[in-house]
């Protein structure tokens, strides 16, 4: 099956090499708006096209085909190695998501499984390859063991009890060897060690240096982890496993103009307020240094006004906004994202929002009274993320193979493969039709992916052709599956779900008890009323039946109302549990998905 975009760089293609390859970008100049008379050149020709007057023929700006590989050749001439995807600091998970009492994993990064565990002796998190050197069992299925009260912990394989510890993954115990001399010889063998990777904790994230070769520790120590955005005290990281290739999420972070359309009706986004977005051209893209980009507002409401974005390899994007407030003031807002390739077609995303105004009194009170896991779950509405995942899955299906073709076989499959090869050739020339200034960030990101060798990375990690395999279409149930996407890797959400389910059970029990008591009191009230009616007939100054039965009847009504309130609250809570911890499919379908036309409602969607 065909892979996405031009090989080897996929959608992202490099521009003409030269001085613009320096790590620090030059001052950007406005992006020339292409005329309708001349179609814009593909990514790898776009830089030369900008050097021509607007409307100049694209062919005149196209560099020779051999220049597409100029940067690797330039690196080779200067003795510089190709961009290394493993000799980088990668975010693993937010530390708050990790459970220090057990192994956390498998955590897949760049196509390989890892396990994170807390070393109490050193007081820090370790990251090992999720494979025991003995028989290949997953260490994430093992145990964090302290051999004695107060003793330091080690990671123990649950298959045969081999134990590993320290920054080097040294084997500290092989239970099957009783002879001390033989045990010492075995434990000192490099083959007995778990494969370990340098780690660092920065800004609430666990980072790992994914190179375990000779000198990896020294190289990691010399390369500080990425800077983490500050501001908005108390803001936390949100991390999820996305059923989309990393390239699409990286592009999304540099594509602000999609927000009023894809996320219409959510937060402050509204199609009716969208406007053409002014932007500058990205003049310099380098594999090591990334690039910077500035743009104007994409909404008349001021959302996204005065924004600048900095992409720092391998996966960090910091967006700084200045939002116009209704009263005339300005609010600085900073959003940092990391996008980590997990495997072809899947990535892990990290988000943190900073720069907002301080929390109000109710928020501060809730922060003091509620457990952090409840606050975490309440603050992470997955609706916008659902919309991103669904639309990007459609991109992935259209541009990276799969779909109905993935299930074909025989002669039909051969014909379909030929058709896909023809489509790939067309995509190689121009995978995206980008005419607006708003697309400049996506174009620059595509160029960076090409320079850094994104598809080369997959070939090195998983073997030749890894990035070109077909992707099966993901059904909606899988796209909106909360457990796979987030909950399974988040200790906070698992605890929050447990709290919520206990609360739901308590509400159910309260509803049952209140309902039973209401029925009992109603029966008592009825009996009192009957007795009062009988007594009233025999007494000269009778007490009415209603007056006699009034107190128990009112109590029965109150308990009935309480039972009803408990039933209502339990139903709402179960709906919240399903939406946040299980699946978003029911709500998605109820609101009509991205069409915004609920089932049975008259269409089309009316704006305004």
Candidate from 243-252, 317-326, 343-352, 354-363 with smallest mean pLDDT: 354-363
Is omega for the bond preceding 106 within 30 degrees of 0, making it cis? yes
For position 253, what pLDDT does the model report?
Answer: 93
For position 471, what pLDDT does the model report?
Answer: 61
For position 241, what pLDDT does the model report?
Answer: 94
Whose structure tokens read 């997955």?
382
pLDDT digits (tens, 9 = 90+) for 371-390: 777 777 777 788 999 999 99
Residue 94 burial (C-beta neighbours within 10 Å; 0-12, 13-18, 19+): buried
Fold exhibited by the domain 89-222: Rieske Iron-sulfur Protein (2.102.10)
Candidate from 31-45, 338-352, 560-574 with smallest mean pLDDT: 31-45
Q: Do 285 and 420 meet the contact criterion of CB atoms below 8 Å apart?
A: no
Torsion of CA 512, 513, 515, 517, to 10 degrees: 160
Q: Among residues of the chain, what percentage have pLDDT more than 90?
A: 44
3-state secondary structure of 126: strand
For position 112, what pLDDT does the model report?
Answer: 96
Reported in sequence order, the residue ranges of 174-329 that DSSP labels E, i.e. its strands, are 196-197, 199-202, 205-209, 238-242, 291-295, 307-312, 316-324
Please give the residue that has the higher pLDDT: either 362 or 426. Answer: 362
3-state secondary structure of 291: strand
Is omega for the bond preceding 371 within 30 degrees of 0, making it cis? no
pLDDT digits (tens, 9 = 90+) for 494-547: 999 999 999 999 999 999 999 999 888 888 777 766 666 666 666 655 555 555
Candidate from 8-22, 169-183, 499-513 with smallest mean pLDDT: 8-22
Task: Say whether pLDDT at 29 is over 80.
Answer: no
Question: How is residue 51 written in tokens?
Answer: 């050097």
Average pLDDT over residues 41-70: 36
Q: Alpha-carbon distance 169 to 550, whole Å?
A: 75
For position 52, what pLDDT does the model report?
Answer: 36
Q: What's the Cα-to-Cα distance from 566 to each of 284, 377, 499, 560, rounded to whole Å?
A: 61, 22, 17, 10
* Domain ranges for the chain: 89-222, 238-401+435-485, 491-591
For position 415, what pLDDT does the model report?
Answer: 53
Task: Say whether pLDDT at 24 is over 70.
Answer: no
For position 266, what pLDDT does the model report?
Answer: 86
Q: Alpha-carbon distance 104 to 99, whole Å?
A: 7
For position 430, what pLDDT does the model report?
Answer: 61
- Average pLDDT score, the chain: 78
Residue 215 burial (C-beta neighbours within 10 Å; 0-12, 13-18, 19+): exposed
Please give the residue that has the higher pLDDT: either 164 or 61. Answer: 164
Reported in sequence order, the residue ranges of 435-499 that DSSP labels E, i.e. its strands, are none
Q: 238-401+435-485 belongs to which CATH class?
A: alpha beta
pLDDT digits (tens, 9 = 90+) for 259-308: 989 999 888 788 888 889 888 889 899 999 999 999 988 888 766 567 89
Please give the residue that has the higher pLDDT: either 355 or 520. Answer: 520
For position 412, what pLDDT does the model report?
Answer: 46
Which of 34-43, 127-136, 304-313 is predicted most confidently?
127-136
Please give the residue that has the higher pLDDT: either 596 or 368. Answer: 596
Whose structure tokens read 């009230």?
525
| CA torsion through residues 251, 256, 258, 259, sign | positive
**Which H helix or E strand runs over 200?**
strand 199-202
């Amino acid at each position: 099956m065909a892979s996405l975009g031009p090989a080897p760089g996929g959608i992202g293609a490099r521009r003409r090499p030269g001085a613009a390859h320096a790590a620090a970008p030059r001052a950007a100049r406005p992006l020339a708006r292409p005329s309708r008379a001349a179609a814009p050149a593909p990514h790898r020709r776009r830089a030369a096209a900008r050097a021509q007057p607007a409307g100049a023929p694209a062919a005149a700006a196209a560099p020779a085909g051999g220049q597409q590989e100029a940067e690797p050749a330039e690196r080779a001439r200067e003795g510089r190695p190709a961009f290394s995807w493993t000799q980088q600091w990668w975010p693993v998970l937010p530390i708050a998501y990790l459970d220090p009492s057990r192994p956390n994993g498998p955590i897949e990064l760049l196509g390989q499984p890892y396990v994170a565990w807390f070393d109490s002796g050193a007081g820090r998190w370790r990251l090992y390859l999720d494979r025991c050197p003995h028989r290949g069992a997953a260490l994430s299925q093992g145990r964090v063991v302290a051999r004695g009260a107060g003793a330091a912990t080690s990671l123990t394989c649950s298959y045969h009890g081999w134990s590993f510890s320290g920054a080097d993954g040294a084997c500290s115990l092989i239970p099957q060897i009783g002879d001390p001399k033989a045990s010492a010889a075995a434990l000192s063998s490099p083959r007995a060690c778990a494969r370990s990777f340098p780690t660092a904790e920065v800004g609430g994230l666990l980072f790992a240096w994914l190179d375990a070769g000779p000198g990896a520790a020294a190289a990691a120590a010399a390369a500080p982890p990425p800077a983490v955005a500050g501001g908005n005290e108390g803001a936390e990281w949100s991390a999820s496993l996305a059923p989309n290739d990393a390239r699409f999420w990286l592009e999304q972070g540099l594509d602000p103009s999609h927000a009023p359309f894809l996320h219409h009706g959510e937060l402050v986004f509204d199609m009716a307020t969208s406007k053409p977005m002014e932007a500058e051209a990205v003049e310099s893209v380098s594999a090591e240094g990334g690039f910077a980009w500035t743009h104007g507002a994409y909404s008349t409401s001021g959302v996204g006004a005065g924004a600048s974005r900095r992409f720092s390899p391998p996966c960090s994007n910091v967006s700084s906004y200045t939002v116009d407030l209704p009263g005339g003031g300005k609010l600085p807002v900073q959003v940092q994202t990391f996008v980590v390739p997990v495997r072809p077609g899947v990535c892990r995303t990290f988000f943190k929002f900073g720069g907002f105004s301080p929390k109000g009194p109710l928020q501060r009170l809730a922060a003091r009274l509620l457990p952090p896991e409840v606050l975490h779950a309440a603050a992470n509405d997955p609706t916008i993320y659902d919309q991103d995942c669904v639309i990007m899955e459609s991109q992935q299906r259209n541009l990276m193979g799969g779909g109905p073709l993935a299930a074909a076989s025989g002669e039909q499959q051969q014909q379909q493969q030929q058709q896909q090869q023809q489509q790939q050739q067309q995509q190689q020339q121009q995978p995206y039709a980008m005419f607006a200034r708003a697309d400049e960030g996506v174009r620059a990101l595509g160029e960076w992916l090409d320079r850094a060798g994104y598809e080369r990375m997959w070939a090195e990690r998983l073997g030749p052709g890894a990035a070109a395999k077909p992707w099966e279409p993901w059904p909606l149930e899988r796209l909106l599956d909360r457990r796979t996407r987030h909950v399974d890797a988040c200790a906070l959400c698992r605890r929050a779900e447990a709290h919520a389910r206990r609360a739901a059970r308590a509400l159910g029990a309260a509803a049952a008890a209140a309902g039973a008591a209401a029925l009992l009191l109603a029966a008592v009230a009825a009996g009192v009323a009957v007795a009062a009616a009988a007594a009233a007939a025999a007494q000269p100054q009778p007490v009415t039946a209603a007056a006699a039965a009034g107190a128990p009847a009112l109590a029965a009504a109150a308990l009935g109302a309480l039972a009803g309130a408990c039933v209502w609250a339990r139903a709402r809570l179960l709906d919240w549990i399903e939406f946040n911890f299980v699946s978003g499919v029911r709500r998605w379908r109820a609101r009509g998905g991205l069409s915004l036309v609920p089932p049975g409602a008259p269409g089309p969607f009316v704006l305004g």
